[in-house]
Chain A
Amino acid sequence: MPLESATIDVASRQGLEGLAIVDCDVHPDANADVVRHLPERWRQYVELTGFRGWPTETMIRLTNRPMANRLDTTPPGGGIAGSDPDFAREQLLDEYGLSYAILNNISLCSGGMPGEFEVELARATNDYNETWLEADPRWLSSINVYALNPGASVREVERCRMKSDRFVQVLLDTHLERPAGNPVYWPVFEAAEALGLPVAFHITGRSKHGKSSGVGPVTYYYEQRTSLDILGQTVVPSLIFEGTFDRFPKLKVALIEMDWTWVVPMAWRLDATWRVLRDEVPDLQRKPSEYLRDHFWFSTQPNLEPERPEQFYEAYDQFVRAGFGDRLMFATDYPHWDMDSPFESTPRDLPRESKQRILSGNAAALYGLDLSAGENAL
């Protein structure tokens, strides 16, 4: 079947009746519109030089559509996928009856731009996202910041929160100059903690060049697309062993689009290594797996697809037994090609209580969302 004629059928809501759905990962990909929110000086700069520093990897996606978007997400009125909040509302919020959906605007982190530009770009991105917030009350947004400038990041977080409490978390790159827990970023964590905002890490980032893996660049998009959990596996040990959570005991971290399947083996490795190397981190107040359990949240998309269907339940049960049952949050990744439908990606035979927690309960608790307000209220 030619790709152009492929359509995604929206399956029925059967089995999920009466359950609210919150989507933790939606991508506005409207680069041109973001650039329009830049000050004149930096608009001219973009015109002069373009965005420099994209890793080759961003060019090896399977399609020539930006961010490998789903073909049918291109708005009928023109523009690229993820550029029309009204079409996205129709295709996502209304189609699936979502209570809320969180915008993670990640499409412009190239890495080769001046620091002052990056600060203004974060601001422009947030201002652009605000136009989505105005378009529908169900949109929520992350706050983009340029983490290598912590002072400007803190000011930007505070600016956004002054505008709207629907800016619900701070969004950081995962490909960083230094791993996530480095004290250089602590002012950002301090501000997030003080405002009660979770900090989210989403795949990709400005410092990706030459380090799409711990051994240099990958070759194929297949590797790039699969290498989500490798990022989580660097964020977690860094944040824990740098002592971030002893310094910021109320800090909450959401790892978005980084899989959740590696979490239990990581908890085991953390504790086993700590048993022999604890003298190196004498200030750590607790077993490292306890920080993992208490401070991290994870998102579903792309959800686990084991060799045999029953293995999903075995793996999920192990995740729950390890203490992460209230930590997994549903995400679509709309409008990207590998988007998960809430109706089809949540295995049918999960207990209703688990479905409720994954589809909305865990996110509602993390972000303080009122699910009774949505049209699909419980």
Chain B
Amino acid sequence: MSPTLHPLRAPSELWDGPIVDVDVHVEVPGVEVLRPYLAPVWRQYVDERGWSQPFGTFPYPRNSPASARPEWRPDDGRAPASELSLIQEHILDRGGVEHAILNCLFPIDSGPPDLSVALARAVNDWLVAEWLDADPRLRASIVLPARNDPAAVAAEIDRVGGHPGFVQALLPVRSGMLYGKRLYWPVFEAIERNDLVAGIHWGGSNEGLPPTPSGWPTRYIEEYVSEIQVFESQLINMVAEGLFQKFPALRVSMLEIGFTWVPMWLWDMDRNWKGIRREVPWISRPPFQIVRDHVRFSTAPLDADRSEELEHVLRWLGSDDMVLYASDYPHMHDDDLTVILEAMGEESRAKLMADNARAWYRLDPAETMADGD
């Protein structure tokens, strides 16, 4: 039974201007598309195992309704979001979309570390050849072998970070170890060096650790709802470890986790900083202020269904720079854009739908005009 969902587009009287969609997923349909981008040794590795998929589990169960909105699920058996024509039809060509940022969550990060590196390189080369070079409206996140080998992560960022299509380094929120830890500092150094955004995204793999401090959730719905706390732990750890003092130009996006939880979590972070700040003396101003300067949040899942309640949350954020529109294509949410556009107020709607993301990801609207409207 499919629920009746809110329409994807906001009513035109609320927004008919340009759109930057900061969280659009692209799915690797199978290992075979990566073959041209794999060295012979890894092609052999794949062949010997009769592989069509990597070891890792997909963070999104393929048959779960949440993993693809019904109208975005091709009825000919192709995987959702697995071809450019699908994303063009469903997102890019629907008018107004100036840029969309591709986040590929293909689970490259399991098995031997050299394989992870090879798969990450292959996915990134595939993204360049078949997506970024094929449609000027697309931007993408660099897929990274984020576990175990920060040097390899930094090397991959340096290898492809100069490509104008890559605007972000994709870091799954379940990383097995909190991202503020010093082990990861070379990664953030590389991200800053390449003028990229660090995109912390739902999902990932946790080195066998459960994704909650109380053990393994049993149902996917429980796991999905419980994910906010994982982002909260990452956010406070990044602040506590002094990441934003060490890398003062660092920009972080938190993706597919919504933002209604953010102000109160930051109030808690401020409150305890007041009491405990001598333990973390490098935090020289309230954490909320640091986050306002260094972190952005994508809209989906929006959750809130009443604009008068969401208005409070947006006001508590204390800035209309912090929230970036995302469809989270092809995932199914029941986001009602009317709610957030009404809550934003007319003067901030352009920031939500495009301007904030343009500024954050250094996007130039003129670059897409050839193929855009």
Binding site for B on A (CB under 8 A): 62, 174-180, 182, 205, 207-208, 210-223, 225-231, 233-235, 237-238, 241-242, 259, 261-262, 264-266, 268-281, 302, 304-307, 311, 314-315, 318, 321, 337-338
Contacts and interface: CB of A to CB of B under 8 A. Distances in A.
Interface stretch (B85-93, B244-252, B257-265, B364-372): B257-265
Given A215-B175, A235-B214, A62 B279 contact: yes
A211 B211 CA distance: 9
Contact of A233 (B229, B236, B272): B229
Interface string B178-216: 101100000000000000000000000011011111111
B350 interface: no
Contact of B178 (A176, A182, A215, A278): A215
Nearest 4 pairs of A and B residues by beta carbon: A213-B233, A230-B229, A261-B264, A268-B303
A265 B173 contact: no
B101 to A, nearest CB: 23
A69 B120 CA distance: 49
B225 A270 contact: yes
Given A220-B240, A272-B333, A242 B218 contact: yes
Counting chain B CB atoms within 10 Å of each CB, which of A178, A215, A270, A315 scores highest? A215
A175 B272 CA distance: 21
B113 interface: no
Interface stretch (B13-21, B137-145, B159-167, B304-312): B304-312
19 contacts: A174-B213, A175-B213, A176-B215, A179-B212, A211-B210, A213-B178, A214-B206, A216-B209, A235-B214, A237-B222, A241-B225, A265-B258, A270-B225, A276-B65, A276-B334, A277-B66, A304-B264, A305-B274, A321-B309
Contacts of A306: 263, 267, 316
B214 A234 contact: yes
B260 A268 contact: yes
Contacts of A305: 267, 270-271, 274
B334 A179 contact: no
Nearest to B271: A305
B240 A222 contact: yes
B229 A234 contact: yes
Contacts of B342: none
Given A207-B214, A225-B272, A276 B333 contact: yes
A218 B3 contact: no
B318 A179 contact: no
Contacts of B217: 179, 234, 237-238
Given A222-B240, A231-B214, A269-B303, A274 B221 contact: yes
B302 to A, nearest CB: 7
Nearest to A282: B1
A175 B214 CA distance: 5
Given A207-B214, A278-B1, 13 more contacts: A179-B218, A222-B272, A222-B276, A222-B279, A223-B233, A233-B226, A235-B214, A237-B222, A261-B264, A262-B264, A269-B260, A270-B225, A279-B65
Contacts of B55: none
Contact of A207 (B176, B215, B226): B215
Given A213-B233, A262-B261, A306-B267, A219 B240 contact: yes
Contact of B174 (A214, A277, A307, A314): A214
B270 A307 contact: yes
B268 A230 contact: no
A279 B219 CA distance: 11
Contacts of B180: 219
Contact of A222 (B218, B230, B261, B280): B280
A238 B223 CA distance: 9
B309 A318 contact: yes
Contacts of B316: 306-307, 311, 314-315
B46 interface: no
B82 interface: no
Contact of B225 (A175, A221, A228, A269): A269
B149 interface: no
Contact of A238 (B214, B268, B269): B214
A280 B221 contact: yes
Nearest to A321: B309
Nearest to B267: A306
Contacts of B65: 276-277, 279
A63 B35 CA distance: 57
Contacts of A205: 214
Counting chain A CB atoms within 10 Å of each CB, which of B215, B260, B270, B305 scores highest? B215
A281 to B, nearest CB: 6
A211 B216 CA distance: 11
Contacts of A219: 178, 180-181, 237, 240-241
Contact of A221 (B1, B213, B224, B279): B279
A218 B241 CA distance: 10
A273 B301 contact: yes
Nearest to A303: B271
Contacts of A221: 276, 279
Nearest to A226: B272
Given A215-B175, A216-B178, A280 B64 contact: yes
B237 A229 contact: no
